[in-house]
Structure 1
Amino acid sequence: MTPTTSTEATDLQPALPVPHPPTWAGAIWIGSIDVASVDRSGTYRLRDADGYDRARLLVRRGRDVVGFVELAVRASQIDPGELHDAVGRIRGESPATPVASGATPPITVVVCTRDRVEMLKVALASILALEYPDLAVIVVDNAARTAETRDYVQSLADPRVRLVVEPLPGLSRARNAGLAAATTEIIAFTDDDVLVDGDWLHGLANRFDRDPAVGCVSGIVPSGEIRTPAQAYFDQRVGWASSCNPASYQLDSPPPDVPLFPFQVGIYGTGANFAVRRSVVFDLGGFDEALGVGSPTEGGEDLDMFFRILLAGWRLAYEPSAIVWHRHRADNGALAVQARGYGLGLGAWLTKIALNPRTAWLAVRTVAAQARTAGRLGYRMSKVASPPPDLEALVPSGVGKLELRSIFGGPRAYVASRREGRRVAPLRGGRHAPAVVDG
């Protein structure tokens, strides 16, 4: 969110609406600031900062992301000198960003949801507030148990928004329904538990325009809220905002700093913030229905799509200027469910890799060439999954081990998903079961 400036002070807004002050002493207030607003003699007030002793700011230069700083909070303010010095340090480290093209091709935003209308309201409000000239929005109501989502979307009476009903459960099915209903070439996907940045679509569009060989662009997904230990653990676990540098990936050009490419997950982005060329995904047959939330595998559909786009010869681009703020699960029960789902999804995707001779042979050659590195990465993954000492007693016992153990349940989940009749490439040849579309 952009700051509002008066003659007396700069008021910084939280990245996500704050439902109530935190009760946990380790909570971190989160927002953003532009380097042009940083002044050693300024005054910086944080809105809705009661109960916070620390703040994390995403530092921007116009539309570009420079990095993150963390600072002490005192009486809902941050020290201008500390802010100035911290921003100065990361400004010196940030690389030059390519000049934006200014292109604004038509884009359809697809939001898949299931009975979470209160979260959806926040996400949709931020999408509809975007100052993007040619925007369409498709809300996919997936296997809904109530009419709340339908009633809410219809109440908007916004000609840019359409409701698509996908009656069969599964995020991949919902994503495919959105793809089938869209008419633009660029399709952006996000979730219902986010708030998109005002320049989100400009970042995605610019990257597609700069490189016609890019089939998919993913953006940065910073934590938008850290009020609870569960959110703090997830923040350090996923690393969705660990890099602020643009990157590009292609199958025949393995990056030297990604030894297990293209199987090293977590470097391309995440399903909460990515965009694709519609024609590319149709050529691939769409999202694999056996993967994703709402199927027995509970995840992995984004990993699978990123990998298949690479395998088809297209480039993947990572664009930090395309920002989506994410609200992590706030309670321990939801965190444990999510950890299990991440493990199952990864295990299921790896099972799919192993069952295909082409991808299995590629995986064997990659791991064999990097055997020592693979071992180190596996060890590092197990360490990252384990809660740090200050959170260990505050999150579900063994949450990291639960995620890692769940990987081994992936093969059985993948087989169960296939037995349900979930298709690998339901959009191949343009075929798709008609969704109910409410204009």
Structure 2
Amino acid sequence: MSDLTLPEATIAPVFPAAERPTWDGATWIGEVWTDTLDLDTAAPRYRLRDADGFGQARLLVRADAGPLGFVTLDVTDGTVDADRLRTAAAALPQPAPSPALPSPAPAITVVICTRDRVSMLQAALDSVRAVDYPDVEIIVVDNAAATDATHRYVAALGDPRVRVIDEPRPGLSRARNTGLLAAAGDVVAFTDDDVVVDRHWLTAVARGFTRGDNVSCVSGLVPAAELRTPAQAYFDARVGWSACLYARVFDWAAPPLDIPLFPFAVGHYGTGANFAVDRAAVVRVGGFDEALGAGSPTGGGEDLDMFFRLLHAGGTLVYDPASIVWHRHRASSEGLAAQSRTYGIGLGAWIAKIALDPAIAPRAFATAARKAPQFATYLADSAATSKPSDELVALLPEGLTTPAWRSVVAGFRAYRAARREGRSVAPLAVPR
């Protein structure tokens, strides 16, 4: 919860800024709980810790039942107006009650895959170690590392819940499969090394598995932990990882009316920085496709592919916004350009895989043809979202907006190259 003290109320940032922002549009990121807003305080303003240089603040308003929404306020001398915050928070819709935590709570293994990024891993691992969940183990998969720095760092922690295992072959999918096989928990929660997880993350994950029958995957909210640079602001607007603030349950046999391209509109299911799976269900579908994901020629798409395959296999997918992982977007224009390119190619590679699958391709093409107007609208919306806003366009590198067909073509080539390297589509499949 927020650190609110009388007579002055102080809100801490989700993640302390790496350096003071120099961009006028920089937005400070934090959260506040509704019960603290109800405190009888005479303080006219809330002080934001470490807010020097920020002109705006984005606050996630939260309650025990889940997040209500985001509020954006002007920052003056490191503070925001208390009355405006309370008024804006009161106008947000109330979340539906969360289901009860199962008893006993399922054992959960958290898997973090990393490669030579100890300085970044530290914040992610510290946040995972601080979760309020009663039964958790943490596996760090050191993927094709050049040094033993990760091993030395984890050993120095002296935390018996945390261990490191090696995956010498490069590729995020390979690393995730290695972590999955080593996990003791029936539920395996995956996150990245460039995040800060919420203290209640795993409690929300466990509750998510009670939201439907045969739940095989739970994903959640992935808001920006930092909006210090134009690159971070552009990426946050493009991906929309924090756009949905209500729980959803997806079932192949029950297409949702508001998603006409279901089940192929994979952007609704979540993202790889925040998802948990039924370990046995993933093993049954053969594990993560080694031809997809970072460290392979495709650069991404392995998370979308897993969501789709679990759904196709008869599992229920749950999106629960109470499961929160804060993501640190790339701060530099160079990092943004590289990330945007790999995301596009990864999505194109997944489309290529669907198009080449004789069991799935006919339905995909039929859905696109039958829903042609909606498909055209989807492409137009995607193109509009990928275009930088007027205030950002002059501050970002050229070439961020890649036509969808080019990403698909590049994805086809990348997926074919990955398969030619001998990467397995279902490496955990049991031979029949």
Relative to the length of structure 1, the TM-score reads 0.95
CA contact (8 A) 1:340 1:403 kept: no
Q: For 1:286 and 1:99, how far apart are their aligned partners in 2?
A: 29
1:241-264 CA-to-partner distances (Å, cap 9, x unmatched) read 001100010111111111101111
Any residues of structure 2 matched to 1:5-404 within 5 Å, and which? 5-39=4-38, 41-42=42-43, 43-62=45-64, 64-90=66-92, 93-103=93-103, 104-401=105-402
Query: Partner of 1:435 in structure 2?
Result: none
1:313-347 CA-to-partner distances (Å, cap 9, x unmatched) read 11100010110000000001010110110111011
* Cα deviation, residue 407, structure 1: 3.0
CA contact (8 A) 2:383 2:403 kept: no
Secondary structure of 1:154 counterpart: helix
CA contact (8 A) 2:187 2:278 kept: yes
Letter of the 2:86 counterpart: H
1:287-316 CA-to-partner distances (Å, cap 9, x unmatched) read 000000000000000000000000001110
* Cα deviation, residue 17, structure 1: 2.1
Q: Could you say if the C-alpha distance between residues 36 and 69 of structure 1 is closer, same or farther in structure 2, counting changes exceeding 3 Å? A: same
Q: Which shifted more, 12-21 or 47-56?
A: 12-21
Q: For 1:61 and 1:102, how far apart are their aligned partners in 2?
A: 20
1:224-251 CA-to-partner distances (Å, cap 9, x unmatched) read 1000000000010000000110001011
Letter of the 1:410 counterpart: G
* Cα deviation, residue 132, structure 1: 1.4
* Cα deviation, residue 101, structure 1: 3.0
Q: Could you say if the C-alpha distance between residues 101 and 430 of structure 1 is closer, same or farther in structure 2, counting changes exceeding 3 Å? A: farther
CA contact (8 A) 1:63 1:199 kept: no
CA contact (8 A) 1:110 1:139 kept: yes
CA contact (8 A) 2:123 2:195 kept: yes
CA contact (8 A) 1:343 1:404 kept: no
1:132-171 CA-to-partner distances (Å, cap 9, x unmatched) read 1111000000010122112111211211111110000000
Query: Partner of 1:434 in structure 2?
Result: none
* Cα deviation, residue 94, structure 1: 3.3
Q: For 2:399 and 2:308, how far apart are their aligned partners in 1?
A: 30
Q: Could you say if the C-alpha distance between residues 119 and 403 of structure 1 is closer, same or farther in structure 2, counting changes exceeding 3 Å? A: farther
Q: For 1:115 and 1:83, how far apart are their aligned partners in 2?
A: 41
Secondary structure of 2:267 counterpart: coil
Q: For 2:270 and 2:417, how far apart are their aligned partners in 1?
A: 27
Query: Partner of 1:436 in structure 2?
Result: none
* Cα deviation, residue 188, structure 1: 0.1
Letter of the 2:418 counterpart: S
Secondary structure of 1:323 counterpart: strand
Secondary structure of 1:224 counterpart: coil
CA contact (8 A) 2:99 2:207 kept: no
* Cα deviation, residue 63, structure 1: 5.0
Identity of aligned residues (%): 52
Query: Partner of 1:3 in structure 2?
Result: 2
Q: Could you say if the C-alpha distance between residues 134 and 430 of structure 1 is closer, same or farther in structure 2, counting changes exceeding 3 Å? A: farther
CA contact (8 A) 1:106 1:186 kept: yes
Letter of the 1:335 counterpart: L
CA contact (8 A) 2:13 2:28 kept: yes
Q: Could you say if the C-alpha distance between residues 284 and 248 of structure 1 is closer, same or farther in structure 2, counting changes exceeding 3 Å? A: same
Q: Which shifted more, 391-400 or 225-234?
A: 391-400
Q: For 1:98 and 1:3, how far apart are their aligned partners in 2?
A: 21
Q: For 2:247 and 2:226, how far apart are their aligned partners in 1?
A: 24
> Which consecutive unaligned segments of at least 5 residues does structure 1 have?
432-439
Secondary structure of 1:86 counterpart: helix
* Cα deviation, residue 89, structure 1: 1.3
CA contact (8 A) 1:385 1:403 kept: no
Letter of the 2:218 counterpart: V
Secondary structure of 2:14 counterpart: coil
CA contact (8 A) 1:217 1:317 kept: yes
Q: Could you say if the C-alpha distance between residues 398 and 404 of structure 1 is closer, same or farther in structure 2, counting changes exceeding 3 Å? A: farther
Query: Partner of 1:410 in structure 2?
Result: 411
Letter of the 1:385 counterpart: S
* Cα deviation, residue 265, structure 1: 2.7
* Cα deviation, residue 404, structure 1: 6.3
* Cα deviation, residue 401, structure 1: 2.1
CA contact (8 A) 2:118 2:149 kept: yes
Q: Could you say if the C-alpha distance between residues 402 and 23 of structure 1 is closer, same or farther in structure 2, counting changes exceeding 3 Å? A: farther
Q: Could you say if the C-alpha distance between residues 402 and 256 of structure 1 is closer, same or farther in structure 2, counting changes exceeding 3 Å? A: closer
